[in-house]
């Protein structure tokens, strides 16, 4: 039996792909808006974390 036969037996199964597409679109839209609005010094600080030797979290 094919997988499509199982899906056809579920009531309202057609809404799930639409919900997934909407969630995908909203997530990446919010991500792009955040990336464009974030402070550039924050991006610079995050970029330099692996190179920063004075990071207090690594000093135990």
In terms of C-beta density within 10 A (0-12 exposed, 13-18 middle, 19 or more buried), how is residue 5 classed?
Answer: exposed
pTM for this prediction: 0.58
- List Cβ neighbours of 7 (8 Å cut-off, separation of 6 or more): 13
- What are the E-state strand segments in the chain? none
pLDDT at 55: 56
Per-residue pLDDT of the chain (60 residues; tens, 9 = 90+): 577 777 777 777 778 889 999 999 999 999 999 999 999 999 888 888 877 776 565 544
How many CB atoms lie under 10 A from the CB of residue 3? 7
């Amino acid at each position: 039996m094919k997988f499509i036969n199982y899906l056809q037996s579920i009531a309202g199964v057609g809404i799930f792909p639409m919900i997934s597409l909407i969630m995908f679109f909203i997530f990446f839209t919010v991500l792009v808006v955040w990336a464009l609005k974030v402070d550039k010094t924050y991006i610079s600080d995050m970029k330099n974390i692996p190179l920063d030797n004075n990071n207090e979290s690594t000093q135990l």
